[in-house]
A and B are shown apart, each in its own frame.
Chain A
Amino acid sequence: DTGVSQDPRHKITKRGQNVTFRCDPISEHNRLYWYRQTLGQGPEFLTYFQNEAQLEKSRLLSDRFSAERPKGSFSTLEIQRTEQGDSAMYLCASSRGRAFFGQGTRLTVV
């Protein structure tokens, strides 16, 4: 499978814990995007990369969120001190033209 892959697919964590998600984009894609989606809503932009450079981080994103793409290939999204409001689907997409999405990581904070 050469599509976008995300790991883990599901994560349940206790409030206050840190979590990290991984996204492996399609290999020749230089753009990588992170989105958050809650039930009944559209994907909400979080941040995006051009190769290893982070181009923009949403102003709605608190300092507890950080993302990296160290070698311009895979990317990680970390959430520190999770809160119940962080429960959502976290989607990664990569692009070299049209954007392709991974299956997402569903986070539940209890």
Chain B
Amino acid sequence: DGGITQSPKYLFRKEGQNVTLSCEQNLNHDAMYWYRQDPGQGLRLIYYSQIVNDFQKGDIAEGYSVSREKKESFPLTVTSAQKNPTAFYLCASSRGTGATSGANVLTFGAGSRLTVL
């Protein structure tokens, strides 16, 4: 079945360490996204990518980095510059730029929960 796989599901990090969250999709979607969710809050956009080798900052990109070397993969690195990284991270994908009109439905992964010790 097609879908989005995020790993790891749970991750613990010491302060000052960089960590990378994996996101892989087999939906042949052009666009991919990373969101952050804090307890009781909505989702905030970190980065998004409309096409391979291109990505844009979202609303809260500081302290994060991404790459898009393959259509299927969009890893997120949480750097030591991120002051409050403990959160639930969600990856999503959509048809994106392949659709010149019409709706753009997002498919989400199951999420990765990062805790800084």
The answer to whether A and B assemble together is no
Q: Which residues of B contact A (CB under 8 A)?
A: none
